[in-house]
Amino acid sequence: MRESWRWYGPLDRIGLQEIAQTGASGIVTALHEIPYGEVWTAEAIEARKRLVANADLGLEWAVVESLPVHERIKRGDGKLDALFANYRQSMANLAAAGVRTICYNFMPLIDWTRTRLRSPVARGGTCLRFDTVEMCALELFMLERGEAENDYPAETRLKARDWYDASSGEDRERLLAAVMAGLPGAYDRYDIPGLRAALADWTGIDAATLRRNFARFLDEVIPAAEDLGMRFCVHPDDPPRDLLGLPRIVSDADDIAFVLGHREELANGLTLCSGSLGANPANDVPAIARRFADRIHFAHLRNVAKEPDGSFEEAAHLAGDTDMVALCGVLLSEERRRRSEGRDDHEIPFRPDHGHELLSDAGRDTHPGYPLVGRMRGLAELRGVMSALSHQGTTFHG
């Protein structure tokens, strides 16, 4: 598997020289500065590609994460021909530059959601955390979204009331800022009235409607991806549950089967994110990987520790609820199968996703969940697992 690393471009507080020292060679990045819906020009793509390669560090732009899907496409809002045409042109420009793997998501409004960005962990350091009680407090008592009564059990609502009554203005600001951190980079962060207004744009859009809009998106882009020799890979919902009254439709094996079954071309694939899928207690992540192995084009490897009320936090890569050794075995086995078929795209790029803030990570103010030392620890652990499994020379059953 190809060791890769998420890099947010020139404004990332972690530099390419530091990334090279982790041992990763594939860079996972995007043109975050380009507004959604606009074409990624050939010139802009080549400039980013040169920036990565000219560091003379053995690095290469391996995966786009993400070529974002405009919110109007997700909502099915108005005439969309120009947006689809721009998206396909960006794909063509990336393919011409030799960047052929695209990770994307179809999550409404917010890409990922956490309620704490620096939750303490044992023995020092911090992690990302999703606390169900805090999320309920935000929905019911800050946003005053009455429909949220139906989304949380009575016990959680009572605890959320207690949290809200005991919270300070600073506590509430911290909570809102953590949730807003999941907005795409090109978007302004909302205050409470602004978030209410943004959510109003989604009124009447249920899971069935969102699924139809997703199917249309696939019909518009997957034939082009197939023609261009690209690999498209949808990222699962994070977390895999409805939030803020917004539906989530890539949360479990049945959802993935719908996406991959709607367009059966090889270009229509999956980003296997073990953390996102692992936050759903019903998901057996190695089993999902086995089921869809032939369509996995990219992997995010991380772990979460779940709690009975639906809360979870980022665990060390080998210490959470998902059997990471089994999962790595599934991916390595799939790579070996592809090699046996003589495929030149047999190698699956992966990156150590998220990580605890450890040691010198403190105070660097990197993107939430993307510290240097914590992710390097994760990469080293994953590298060790994969080396050991490969050394065994066995067939990996997970």
End-to-end CA distance of the chain, in Å? 16
Write down the pLDDT at residue 185. Answer: 59
Any domain includes 11 = yes
Final residue of a domain: which of 200, 217, 245? 200
Task: Note whether residue 83 is domain-resident.
Answer: yes
Q: Exactly one of 300, 328, 356, 361 is catalytic; which is it?
A: 300
pLDDT value at position 187?
63
- Same domain, yes or no, for 144 and 106? no
Final residue before a domain boundary, out of 175, 200, 225: 200
Q: Are residues 266 and 388 in the same domain?
A: yes
Residues 48, 127: one domain? no
Q: Note whether 105 and 43 are same-domain residues.
A: yes
**Structural domain count, the chain:** 2
Q: What is the CATH number of the domain that holds 36?
A: 3.20.20.150
The first and second tokens of residue 296, run together, are 């996995």
Q: Which of 297, 353, 356, 361 is catalytic?
A: 353
Asked if residue 7 belongs to a domain, the reply is yes
Active site residue 103: no
- Give the per-residue pLDDT at 183: 82
Check residue 396 and give its pLDDT. Answer: 47
pLDDT at 344: 87
79 and 169 in a single domain? The answer is no
397 within some domain: no
Same structural domain, 236 and 356: yes
pLDDT tens digits in sequence order for the chain, 398 residues long: 999 999 999 989 999 999 999 999 999 999 999 999 999 999 999 999 999 998 789 999 999 998 999 999 999 999 999 999 999 999 999 999 999 999 999 999 999 999 999 999 999 999 999 999 999 999 999 999 999 999 999 999 999 999 999 999 999 999 999 999 988 655 678 999 999 999 999 999 999 999 999 999 999 999 999 999 999 999 999 999 999 999 999 999 999 999 999 999 999 999 999 999 999 999 999 999 999 999 999 999 999 999 999 999 999 999 999 999 999 999 999 999 999 999 988 999 999 999 999 999 999 999 999 999 999 999 999 999 999 999 876 544 54
The verdict on 176 and 237 lying in the same domain is no
b/e per residue, 359-383, with b = 16+ CB within 10 A? eebeeeebbbbbbbbbbbbbbebbb
Catalytic residue among 317, 354, 356, 361: 354
Residue 267 DSSP symbol: T
Catalytic residue among 87, 104, 190, 370: 370
Residue range(s) defining the domain that contains residue 274: 2-112+203-392
My answer on whether 107 and 234 are in the same domain is: yes
To the query of whether residue 328 is one of the catalytic residues in this protein, the response is no
Indicate if 282 and 326 belong to the same structural domain: yes
Please report whether residue 127 resides in a domain. yes
Domain check: are 179 and 220 in the same one?
A: no
Q: Which of the residues 131, 273, 356, 361 is marked catalytic?
A: 273
Which of the following is catalytic: 235, 297, 317, 356? 235
Residue by residue, DSSP assigns 293-361 as GGGEEEEEE-EEEE-TTS-EEEEPTTTSSS-HHHHHHHHHHHHHHHHHTT-TT-PPEEEE----B-GGG
334/253 same-domain check = yes
Among residues 142, 177, 200, the one where a domain terminates is 200
Q: Is residue 156 part of a domain?
A: yes
Instruction: Quote the pTM value.
Output: 0.94
Residue 63 lies in a domain: yes
300 is a domain residue? yes
Q: Are residues 124 and 108 in the same domain?
A: no
DSSP-derived secondary structure for 178-200: HHHTTS-TTSPPP-HHHHHHHHH
